[in-house]
Amino acid sequence: MQPLIIGRHSVPFPLIQGGMGVRISGHKLAGAVAKAGGIGIVASAGLGLNSHHYNGRNYYAADKAALAEEIRKAYEIAPDGVIGTNCMVAVKNYDDAVRTSCEAGAKLIISGAGLPLHLPALTADWPEVALVPIVSSVKAAELIARKWKKSYDRLPDAVVVEDPLTAGGHLGASREEIEAGGYEQYATVRGVKAYFRREWSLNIPIIAAGGVWDRGDLLYALEQGADAVQMASRFVVTEECDADLAYKQAYLSCQREDIGLVMSPAGLPGRAIVGNLDGVRGYDVTQGTRCPSGCLKKCTYKAEQDRFCIVHALDRAQRGDVETGLIFCGRNAWKANHIGTVQEVFDELFAEGIDAADAV
Ligand SMILES: Cc1cc2nc3c(=O)[nH]c(=O)nc-3n(C[C@H](O)[C@H](O)[C@H](O)COP(=O)(O)O)c2cc1C
């Protein structure tokens, strides 16, 4: 069994729990994953909304306070574990989320939904915090590495390669590219690995994200050249996932054909359960809302009331309103058939170990 080592941090199992914004992965899930021997990730986006810090008018202050609190509580569950955060470049309070993560003791920052070109500047005072960009192409990894080296004399400690054909949430390719289906996840994983070896003599972990559901998928990813996997949807159907039970039940009852693409007001496609999209869009129309929180740097809803307010749609789903809430999920979420514990997921994935025979 190969431990996963990212920068100065190491865990026994080659597994990161993917950040899931607007409190799908808060302290309970991240803490449980870290306790089980993986890397637990608190997603920073929109964390304040369903928290006691939020009073309806203080979105940014509540987000900041909630993020620090969630990291602290995750460490209460796993005092010696590795807890990190997911910070989305596309949100307006990105810089604040990164700095707050570092102050509160996050051991790594995973950052995507845009190119995290300035991430090392934000974390300069915390050199022990590992930096992990999310990309969906070799080109994006090259751009980030060149910029970081030139401007900050820093390179990534690991890279997450996220498959737009299978991952949940916001995706790193256009709708047309995704629908054309030509993307090859493991060619990208190997390409990114080779790039860092060739260009920088660096053997950093390359982590495959998207569509990994069971032990067979995990072994396949490792066999295809990934050093570890990032899994998100599978962890939604755990007792520890921070979402309401109705959210988890939506995964249990959805079929393969219920999962599709939705254009986010952030300008990116996202993968979600699409059966209730009329309800998601209709909510803002009937309520007459106009950008209640201003959370995104660029937002078609804020600019011209096009599409819907995504952060509040995700928040409604997280609280259990599956009629008008947006339920992000990966392409394999239909495989969910019961709610178990995080430890059970680890037992299934790793109980037999990963020996050379399995992984070759
Ligand atoms: C409900 C949900 C919310 C997500 N939110 C985020 C997020 O806030 N930031 C991010 O970078 N990725 C987000 N993702 C992507 C995951 O972190 C992960 O990379 C991806 O879903 C992995 O694929 P899987 O769900 O098939 O395991 C989200 C995924 C899901 C399912």
How do residues 164-175 score in pLDDT, each as one tens digit?
999 999 999 999
Tell me phi and psi for residue 16, to 5 degrees: -110, 135
Prediction pTM value: 0.96
Helix/strand/coil percentages in the chain, nearest 5: 40, 15, 40
Nearest to 147 by CA among 161, 160, 162, 131: 131
The predicted pLDDT at position 189 comes to 98
pLDDT, tens digit, 9 for 90 and up, residues 188-245: 999 999 999 999 999 999 999 999 999 999 999 999 999 999 999 999 999 999 999 9
The predicted pLDDT at position 356 comes to 44
The predicted pLDDT at position 357 comes to 45
Neighbouring residues of 65: CB distance < 8 A, sequence distance ≥ 6: 48, 51, 53
State which amino acid sits at residue 24.
I
Report the b/e string of 48-67 with b at 16+ CB within 10 A.
Answer: bbbbebbeeeebeebbbbbb
Torsion of CA 191, 192, 195, 200, to 10 degrees: -160
Of 15, 264, 328, the residue with max ligand 1 atoms within 8 A of its CB, to mutate for a pocket test, comes to: 328
- Tell how far the Cα of 20 is from the centroid of ligand 1, in angstroms: 5
The predicted pLDDT at position 299 comes to 87
3-state secondary structure of 117: coil
Beta strand 169-170 with 9-11: parallel, antiparallel or unpaired?
unpaired
Ligand 1 site, residue 332, Cβ cutoff 6 A: yes
pLDDT, tens digit, 9 for 90 and up, residues 2-41: 899 999 999 999 999 999 999 999 999 999 999 999 999 9
Neighbour tally for 253: CB within 10 Å: 12
* pLDDT band of 288, cuts 50, 70, 90: confident
The predicted pLDDT at position 185 comes to 97
Beta strand 9-11 with 4-6: parallel, antiparallel or unpaired?
antiparallel
- Tell how far the Cα of 162 is from the centroid of ligand 1, in angstroms: 9
* pLDDT band of 353, cuts 50, 70, 90: low
Residue 290 clears pLDDT 90, i.e. is over it: no
- The position carrying tokens 């910070």 is 87
pLDDT, tens digit, 9 for 90 and up, residues 299-340: 888 888 888 889 999 999 999 999 999 999 999 999 999 999
Higher per-residue confidence, 293 vs 28: 28
The predicted pLDDT at position 180 comes to 93
Atom nearest to 45 CA in ligand 1 = 8
- The position carrying tokens 């239909």 is 334
- Six-digit token string for 39: 């890397």
- Six-digit token string for 60: 């940014």
Question: How many whole angstroms separate alpha carbon 76 and alpha carbon 23?
Answer: 18
Nearest to 1 by CA among 352, 358, 354, 356: 354
The predicted pLDDT at position 2 comes to 85
Ligand 1 site, residue 43, Cβ cutoff 6 A: yes
pLDDT, tens digit, 9 for 90 and up, residues 92-136: 999 999 999 999 999 999 999 999 999 999 999 999 999 999 999
Ligand 1 site, residue 114, Cβ cutoff 6 A: no
Question: How many whole angstroms separate alpha carbon 82 and alpha carbon 152?
Answer: 25
- Tell how far the Cα of 24 is from the centroid of ligand 1, in angstroms: 10
Residue 1 clears pLDDT 90, i.e. is over it: no
Question: How many whole angstroms separate alpha carbon 149 and alpha carbon 317?
Answer: 40
Ligand 1 site, residue 317, Cβ cutoff 6 A: no
Q: What angle do CA 250, 253, 258 make, to 5 degrees?
A: 80
Ligand 1 site, residue 208, Cβ cutoff 6 A: no
3-state secondary structure of 244: coil
The predicted pLDDT at position 289 comes to 79
Higher per-residue confidence, 289 vs 211: 211
